[in-house]
A and B are shown apart, each in its own frame.
Chain A
Amino acid sequence: DTEVTQTPKHLVMGMTNKKSLKCEQHMGHRAMYWYKQKAKKPPELMFVYSYEKLSINESVPSRFSPECPNSSLLNLHLHALQPEDSALYLCASSYNYLDTQYFGPGTRLTVL
């Protein structure tokens, strides 16, 4: 299994909602990543978990809260988002940190 899965594929939420994005991999990878990608721009790193511990937080606002319940799962909890947070949120994993990265299909988030 060389796949990273993400749910949901699409999400529309209001600014007062709380929602979560989920990411799963069963490749035995020990590093997992969240990226944010705006239209016609490259992906930007948000968080990195290595061995289930948060190792990088790229000064992301606290309305984004990552969680790594186990080595196969990565969540991104969303609360009180702003319309400018609308973007494609990509999850990736690699065997070790900075090894070849495998990306999921992404969640297209729209904040109204």
Chain B
Amino acid sequence: DTGVSQDPRHKITKRGQNVTFRCDPISEHNRLYWYRQTLGQGPEFLTYFQNEAQLEKSRLLSDRFSAERPKGSFSTLEIQRTEQGDSAMYLCASNKQGLPYEQYFGPGTRLTVT
């Protein structure tokens, strides 16, 4: 499988718990993105990495959210003290340098906070 993979695919958690998601990009892609999508909306940008460096973070990314890409390969997104408003599909995408910069998405992790 040469696509973007994400784990887990589904996560149900209780409010206040911490959760962590993993994303493995396409192997030759050095750029990795996290987006969040809620019902009826398009994906919203959260953050992105070039290699191991986190180069941009959205204002949507509160201090309860943290993302890492320690060796420039896979990335993790952690949400601390989850709230019901965090329920969404968390999407990871990757691309490589050079035009046209098209991004390829993984299958997503659906988070439900009860």
Question: Do these two chains interact?
Answer: no
Interface residues of B (CB under 8 A from A): none
